[in-house]
Each structure stands twice: as C-alpha cells, then as structure tokens.
Structure 1
Amino acid sequence: MIDIQKESVWTSSVETTEDRSIPPELLQSLRRHSIFQRTNNESFLEKLACCMHLRSYSPRDVIIVEGEPAKAMFFLLRGSVDVCSADFERIYATLPKGSCFGEIGILYSMPRTATVIAGTKCIVAALTSEQVQTILPQYPQVEKMLRFEAEERLALLYKSKNLNSDEKVSSKPLTERNVQDFTGTRIFLQKIPYLQDCPEEFLHLISLKVEPRHYAPNDLILCKGEQGKELFFIISGTAEVANIDTAASDPLIPIARLTAGDYFGDIAVLLNAPRATDVRAVTAVELFVLKKSDFIDVISRFPTLQKRFKAMAQNSLDYLRLKASQLNKVDNNSGSITPPEDTTTSSHSPSIEASSVCSTTSDQDPTLLPATAADVLKKVETRRRRGSVAIWSDSHLVELANKAIKPQKEEEESKMKLDPIMAQQPGFPGDGDFALITEEILGLIVNYIDFAAAIQFSTVSKKCREFMLRNDTIMHSVDLSHLNKHVTDKTAASIAAFLGNRVRNLNLSQCFYITDEGFKILIENMTNIESMDLNSCWLLTDKSLTLVAATCPRLVKLDLSNCRKISDVGIFKLLSEKATRGYPELSELSLSYCKKLSDMTMSHLAEFCSNTLSTLNIQRCTRITDQGFVKWADTQFPQLKALNLTDCSFLTDQAISHLVSAAPNLNRLSLSFCCALSDSAIEGLISLPELKYLDASFCGAAVSDVSIRALLNSNSIESINSLNLRGCVRITDVCVNSILESGKLESLNISQCPGISLDAKQTIKESGVVHHLVA
C-alpha cells in the first residue's frame, strides 16, 4: 500500500474547531456515508475529520494490494474505486462516493483481503490504524456499527471467493460468479418490506447468513411439491409464479411476477408446508438466499419478530388459497409467494438500461472448466448403440462377450512407460525384411501415427528401431499433449533421444508436470523447431524462454497460453536474444491467461517484432491497459492480421484508437467482454479496410444500433463478412434492418440479445442475406 501522506485537496472555506480547521465539504461528505448516518454522531465526525489525511488518485492507481499488511482505512469522498482480486482478474464491486473500505484489515488485524484500484479520479480520506485504535473506543456505538459493516463485508467476500463451478445455480454461464453489491447486503435487506423496521442486530445476523446466487433466464428456482429449505430475496431481475394445478387455465400461465425487492419461500420455511407453485426466472435473476435452519436460528432470538413473520406467512398462505379458489383450483397445499401488495404483477419484463456494462471477465481458466452440455452430448453420440437387454439372459453369450472385451484406452496408457523403451537391449522377436514396404512408404505411414504408436512400432524389430531413430523424413511434427501426464523431467531425456534434431513442430500442450530442468533436456538439441505449443505448461518460468531463444533459432510460432509464471522479463529475454543473435522474430504469439504480463510486454513487441508479428493473442491479460497500446502509437505492425483482446476489461476507446493506427491491415479482431469500450471504439474500426471478422460479444455499452450501422455502411470496409454480437444488450431490431440493408454477411451471431424480437430474427432467417445465422 502507498504510504499515507497528508495532501490538501480542498480549496473551499473551513469550519474551525478547538483542534484544527475542517473543510466543510469533508464534513458534508462524511455525513453522507451510510455508516455515519446510522450512528448520527456529529462529535465523532468532527473528531474523525481532524485526524484524516486526504489523498487524490488517478484512474487505475492502486490504493490497496491484497495480502499486504493493513495500515489504514479509507473513506471515499469523490469518484469511485474497484475492489478486485490480486491479479485484477475479478472485479468484486465498484464502490461509489460515500463508501468506506479497508476497515476489515484494521478492525481484525489481518492482511488485506482484496486489491482496490481507482476506477476514476478520486479523493479519499485515510485514517491510520493507530488513529482508529485511539478514536473508536471513545465512541462505542460507532465502533459497533463499523464492526458490523466489516463483518458483513468479510463474510460476503469469502462467500464470493468460495463459490465453485460445481454449484450449477451459483455460477453465471460463461462468467465467473461476481458479488455486485459488495457493501450493501444489510442496506438492501432493510429496504425489503419483509424486513423493514427490524433491529440492527437482527439485520446484521441475517446479513451474515445470506448467500448470493444467480439463475439464468428460464431456470426453475422452486418446484411445486418440494419441501422448502430456503427463503429468497430478489436483488435484480424478474421471476414468475405459476403452476397451481388449476383446471380452468393453463398451468404455465403466471400467477404473479416478482422483481427486485420481492421475496418468496417464507410460507414453506415458517409453516413447514411443501411448495404449492413453481417459481421460474424470466430474466437473469440475482438473489440472496437464506437457509431455513439459519433463519430459524436467528428469529428464535427475537420472539416478537418470530410472531410477526409467522403472521405474514399465514397471510401469504391465505392469499394463495384465495387465488386458487378464484381459479377453480382444487389444492390445499401451502405456497410460497408474497402478498399482492408486495408483488409486481406487470406482464412486461423490466427494460435493460443502455449503460449496462459487465464488471467481470468472461470465463474461467479454460483448462479448469467443468464439462459442458455439449461435451456430454458428444460422448453420448459417439457411443455404440446398446444391445437389447434380453440377450444377456443367455449365460453363454455373456461369457463370450466378456472374452471379447478389450482393455480400456486409459488402462493401456497407464501401463505405457517411456523410460524402459529407450533402454531396451537388442534382440527383437520380429526381425526381418520389409519385403513389400519401402522406407519411403513406411515414412509416410509413420507420419500419420501418434507418438505412442511410433514408440510401440520401434519395439517391433531392430530394423524398425533403426528406422525410427535415423530416418530424417519422419518425426517432423510431434504431439505429446495426449501423453501429458507422462511427459516429466524423468522422461525428458528418453523422449529427446528418440526424437533427435528432426522436430519442426512440437506440441507440449497440457504437459503441466515438466519444469525448466526437464524442458532444457528436451529441447537443447532441437535446433530446427519452427513452431512450439507450451499451452498450460504451468511450471515453466522465464528461464525457459531464455533457453528457447538461444537453442531454437528458427522458432517463429510460439504458444505460451496459461503459462502463469511467465513475466515481462521473460518476454524481453526471448525477443531481445533473438534480435541480438540475428534470428527470425516471431510471427505468431499467444500469451492468453499470462496474468503477470503488463504494458511492458506490449512495449517489447513494438520494439522487436513489429515487422513480423501476424497473429497475437493476449486474452485475459488484465494487466495490459491503454498505456500498452500507447507504446504502439509510433510503431507500425504491417503484418498483424489477427488480434484477440477477449477479456481485456480495462481497455478503453483510447487503446482501440492506437491499435487502428498501428495495425491498419487487421483482418480478425476479438473484443469480447471488453466492457469499458463505447460506441466510439466500434465506429473507429471503420479505418480498418481489410477487417473481415469482428467478435464484439458481451461488450456492454460498446455496441449499439448506431455503431453497427456505421460499421456496415462504411465505404472503407468492403470485406467484413462475420459479425458476433452475442449478448449485446443495446442492439435492437433497427440493427437487424441495417444488416439486411448491407446484405454482405457470411455469418452472424445475435443470440442472447434481449432487444431483438423473435419476428426480426425470423425475418433475417427468411431473407437469406446471412448464410450462417445463430439467433
């Protein structure tokens, strides 16, 4: 954390106290903090203002670093800050003016739990830990409120960090779970009619128990007939109540619509009755979920509240029975909806604001993602059709089938060892002449088998072994990714001896057991390598990059995706060493998920390989900011054709402006989840005459009807034929009309665009203008 220094940022007149002069703007700002509105202690505010140190920060300045010792707590007086993870990958919240942060480390004497960076130009008032320990004991009520706030925030932060992908309803599709309202759990709960006028202690205990949860559109939240174990409070989105078994109407027709501030599930929780209806998400729904056991535990300490909540639950049950009788419903089960005065019954979904911008990155580490529905279907569809069950009643057929069963592929691979193969002694049982197959034909065959099969072939005979070790026409392209668990430091020498110096293209993707030591053994004699895939070789460091530069003079294609120990220093050593030795510079480079890389890497690329780089992937390199592209401003990348900026969530229009200037021949560009962009960024792409493919999916405010129309109607772009607008909330049917008018798209993705009607999607399908449409 930056040391606290006194800095004068207020220029207005001051109020005088016995101790010192206090800027009235400072006092007014402190009075607006929710924590101080709850305490309403003017004496404390004046005491606090006299001790504070004021500081100003520019956008993206780091205020607090996760893991460092806590030295001060902060009160945000102007601007906004982002609370995020140490690698800037996840944004837990954006705190507005009037918030406080840093109090957890001070009050609980623990390291910082998150990183805080300035979102805009902001002014904060800092209170050192020594001052906090001196002042707070004098004001016990204020200290109590501050500790409540810190405890609630810490609990919610831990819940956010601990959510895992196995909890289906707790994970946003394609995105990581994110706590949007980092400081407002208790504030939100007290605004709900169900919890209004409850004591501070009660709201505090409830705030510690609730957990955030997300449901996608059309997800079933509650199912009729199940036992109620949870109480739900809607943070945002819309849900509908349906299916009360009425004979007079369609059970899918909603009884009521629930929106932000509504609650449901109280009847089943308090009256021990099964659910009488379904509750289904209409839009994406954010909820606070309270377990029945936790709720009962808390209200048991407040007898008056317990009676009140049970009475409200009974009223809801009476309303449901009345509704059922009006619909000729024959069902006496208890339900779980709110009374009519607390429920929004509009049949229209809430509009989505144009300023909606996502505040998180698009997905998890691709090597750690759980299996998707598509993966499951692929496995199901490729299985052999199951035979009739009837045949297994014949014991003779069963015995015959058991004999025919072959070992599973995984078992075969687990038995295979790379070390003993290279150590085998001469004396092969199958020695003989290749009477019908020449070495030329044999070489063609070997080039079509994988590495494991090649090793097995070398054990057939001496001649096979000699052929595999000495023939220079084979083993030019070697893929070891399917043997990733067997490629280790121990087997590196054996693999290297078998391959020799013949390899041109080496794939070590997912070989996460190999370290710098084994990697050195593996490639120190492979001087002819031109392309290397090191995706997810997690243990490799900058040391390996220096080795690559020295030993692989022909290397021009390199994939370092998910090599998380690689830093700016390693990239510099790789590029500078190649330049010093006069070796060809890189033409294709993938650095996705290399989270240590920063703007310095962009500077190194501009300095060493601007004339050769044709493909660059920096997906989710969240430490690369606009300043990285500023370093490209005076450089040209004439060969750069493909650039992937997916999840570079901090990039703004300034970065796109410098990019367009530096790489005028871009052909493919991905801006997916670049949520800080605006319309100007998309319109700026008009200056790229060769742009054919654009991925602007989930770009928040960056894509609108106006910007897409400008792009498609531009005379400078004649060849654009693929457009991905998935999840863009600002485009409407007007955008579809622009696409129909342009009539030049080969493929288009407008799925998950809530502003585009079904009629518009049908129109574009029938028009035949777009050859491949995803809607």
Structure 2
Amino acid sequence: MLKVIREGTKAKAMFFIIKGIVEVTSEDDEIVYAELGKGCFFGEIGVLFQVARTTSVIAKTKCIIAIIKASEFYELCEKHPKVAKAIHDEAIYRYTNLKTQKEERGKQFDVSLNENILSPLKSITSDEDLFKTSTSNIKKISLININSERNNSNNSLSNDDFEASNASNNTINTTNNDITNDTTEVTVNISLKNTATEKDLHSPKLVVSNDNNITMLDSSVKVIEQNTPSPQNPNLGFIQRYSGRRRASVAVWADDQLSKLQQNIQNQLNKEKSPTESNAPTNLSVSSTAQIVSPINDALKQDNISESSSVYSSLSSISKEKESLTQSRKQNINQKFSEIKKKEEQPYLGPLPIDLMKKCISFLDYKNQFRIRRISKIFNIIITNGNSSDLTDPKWIDYDFNPPLSTSIDLSTIPKLINDEVLKIILSACGDFIIEDLNLHRCWEVTDVGCKAIEDVGSEIKNLNLLGCWDITDNCLVSLSSNLQNLEFIDLSNCRKITNLGVISLLQNCPRLSKISLSYCKNLSSELFANSLIWRKVKQLNLQRCTGIFDAGFAFWKEQITQEKDDPSIPDSFHLKKLNLSDCSFLTDTAINNIADTCQELEEISLSFCCALTDECILNLLTKCKELKILDLNYCGLAVTDEICNVIAKKM
C-alpha cells in the first residue's frame, strides 16, 4: 500500500478524498486509528496548527485525492471564515480523539497545537453566504491517481515530494520502494484560472499529459452549505467524521454526464417557455407548475390535446399516484409493526428471542450444534426434532419449534470422527420425518451398517451425499431405495463397490430421483442403460471416468425410443439436461449420435478427454440439441475443427 503521509514529517498541504479509501495509522502501521472514504479530508491538523504530521495515512484502495497547498488554504479561510471555523473544529475533535487513543495504548503524544495562527476563527461574526462563490479566482485542484495495488507495503511517500509546493509545477518521483528517488517522474500541473463563468464552474475538463501518459479529471470546487449550521453546532451539515455519517459540503462536479443532463434540462425548459417569458433568466430551479409538467405536456400535444387540459390531467394523475403510494406505505408500516409486535411477543431463550438464538446456533457446524443440545431441553428440541410435547412451561405452549436445525445435517467437515456407530447416534437423536439433507462426503468409515440407520430415519431425505464412502455396496442401495421415497439427488461418486444392481434399484423405487452422480464407479457397465424407462425422469447424470460404459449403453436408449414411438403412454424422449462423460475414453461418435437423437432437451454436456470423437458427431449434437448452452471439448483433438467453431459461434 502507498503511504500518502508519514508521521513526523513537515505539513505543507491538506488533502480531500475524491474516490477511494485511506487508513489513518501509527508510524509503524501497527495501529489503525480510522478509515476515511469519499468526501473526507485529512492533513488539516498539521496545516492549521503548523505542527508535524500526527499520524501516517496509507491508501487502502486505488484513490483520487485532491491537494490544496497551505498558502491556498489560508486564502480560502480568509474568504470563507465559516468553512475555516468548521474545519478548525473538526481538527480539534480529531486531535483530542487521537490523543485519547494514543494514551490508552501507552504511547506518548507530545504535539502541542499552535492556536495563534487561526485565532480570528474563535470570533467569527460574518454572515457571508457560503453558497455564493467567487468566480474571479477559482483555483483548480490537481487530482492524483494513487494505485496501492502496484506498490508493496514498504512503499512510502515523502511529504516533501507528495504535498503541493509553492511552484506552479510539482514533480513526484516514484520507485518501487521509495518515492524520493529520481527514476520516474510524474508531473502534476496546478493552474490558476483568472476568469470563470458559471458554465465553466460546472463543466469538468479532461487533461492528458503526453509526457507522462497520465489522465486527470480537472474539476472545479464549489463550496456549498447543505444545512444551515446552528449556533450550538456550527459543524452540522459540513464535516464528515470518521464514521462517515456526515456529508462533506465540498461538492466536486466531475461527471460529464451530470453536465450533459443539466444542459439538456435547461434546453428543454427554454423551449417550453412562451415568447413573453423568453427574456426571463434561465435557471435549473423551476417554480411554475407549467414548467414542472412541461415534459408531460409535450407528450399530450402530440395527441392534439390542449396544454391546459394536459396540465390538469397530469396533476390529477400525480395526486392519484401520491395517494396510492401513501396507502402502500401505510400498509408496509402496519405490516412491519405487526412483525415487530410478533417478535416482541416471542419467548426468550437466554438473553435473546428464541428465533434469533436459533439463527445464531445455525451458524455453528453440526459437531458443535450436537454438543450444545445438552444444555437444556429447549436447545435439544431446537437442534434435533422440534418436538415440544414434553415441555410443561406455559410460555412455550404456543410456540412452534419446527423446523429443527437437523433438517440439514452436514458431517463432511468432520469425516474422521464419523463411523457407523456415531452416525447411528446422531440420526436416532433426530428421529424420522426430520432430515431432508444429509452430507456424508468423505466419511469413508461409513459402511452398509451405517446406511441401515439412514434407512430407519430417512423417509424425508431429499438430498443424500455419499461421495467417497468406499465400503458401501449394492445391499446398502437396495435397502435405502425401499424407504427413501422422497429422494431427489444422490451422489455415489467413488463408491467403487457398487454395480448396476444398486443403481437400478434406486431408479426403480425412488420416483422423484432426478439427479445422480456415479463418477469413478468403474464396476458399472453398458447394461445399466438397458431399461430406458427408468432413465427418462433423470435430469442430471454424472458418469465421469466410468470406463466400463461403451457405445452399446446409449444404443439401448435409441432402440427403445424407436420401438415405443407409436405408444402415446410412453415419453418419446429423455429429459436429461446435464450430462458429464469426461474421461469416458471408449465412447465413439455412435454414442454421441444416439444421445443427440434421444436427449434433445440437453443444455450442458462435458466430453473432455473423449479422444475418439470426431467433428461429425459434434455437428449432429449441435444441430439436434437446440437448448445446448455448455459444451466441453477439452482434449478432443479430432472433434474441434474450424467448421465446429463456426457453428458454435453462430449457435451460442
């Protein structure tokens, strides 16, 4: 990160943040006192009180920072005493806060402020209107882009180089480790504009330095007062403190779109004025009703409707819209109040309402959730089964504890602790009709015995992840299929002992099963697809590296579709949308052509490392699968040709 100010160096300027974030830190960068963002300023303590820098400032992100030299700042203070007073008070506040923080950390803070330099600020009586700015001596503030990503944390910037000097042209020297070297020069021009119009004040200019290839947005600064300061709090509406809750009253017009928008509005208003009003001064502030609704009048004039009637109709439509908005807001407020009242009526569990406590517990992993269930009956009910029938306390009678947190159980974070016995204890504590998602990813000690426990309580399971459970066999899958009637997704990847029998049993007995992953199950063969009817409901299928599957497997699909073509009771195509055949190296064009003929709803297919494929089957696939959006042909050398690339470019 780039160091903008270094603690202990001489102060020659103060800075305004146009864009980005900086950190106010100690000299050794170990303590961060504050973060300042867009609209904030820094460096005012050293300039106001002529003391050395009290902290260091580091650019946390890429920043655009405006620099104002001390001499120019003093001139501004003379012209705008209220602004000076506000910055002065902010500097005192920051100084006091910084001193307190350093003393709390045991650091010495011997900086004494020189109050004499701005003593006239203590007796300001001028009622000068801060909104009126002089256009005779408007100084441009140079903008400097600081890219903290290009510099390491050891980069530092000398105040003598970075801060503005008395010369009209400043030179900033940058290197990898110290900006004070003479390797690279970046020139920032600060020009004085003697004459400026209102148009110039609001029209930013783009300045490009050809010598250094730097683009800077040159903006005029306009001092305004958003809220009239009260005598009790003169800073109100001007100072944006460290928290960022106040807006700075230095508005920088640095967007060409804003200027164009302003000009377009002004031109439109001028066109709408009658000849008698043509001599009236133009202004963005429109007071008349006709001017406000002039865009509406234009639209109505095209339909040959009179201007007066269009005004009244527009006003009536606006009033109706306001009424409808008011009604909707009232309804929203009433709804929010009812929700708040409902939450207030919730019973408390410890120091928090029970819903909030439940939300907090849900962020724990299941190991810790299962551990804290022993705190009390309430915790046990929240986490395991949601059954409150055993509670006698009247405050819990009307409260519904469902759904419990055990609706979703993820044990993949503690695979070494999970075996058949532990899994049985966890599942039995939850009971049946509770669990919907069970993740046993990489729990390799789970065997068919553990799957029997899943069968006992898994009637509501929708998603089951058994990836990496090596010892699971067909017996386990057959027993699971008899009770998992709501199963929608199962991951059997790397379960290398399962065969066609177990997968077919799941597909036959689980009517909702539509997503199945069988990657690296090398005991599967082409006969797995012999009964095409059980595959027609499947929408996602992962067969990555199932090297026992050949072209004959998908030939079954094509043959049965052809035979059952005239039977209206049988679906005439598959609903497969995602298919992964990566590393199925024995597949040829015949298999892909059969897939293209039967799976025309296909949206995504991966054929990487299917090296035997040619461009003919890919062209057929692209032609028949109209919904295809993702096609993976990595390392399919013969399948990727110029013709295929042109077809893909036109199709996708």
TM-score (norm: length of structure 1):
0.35
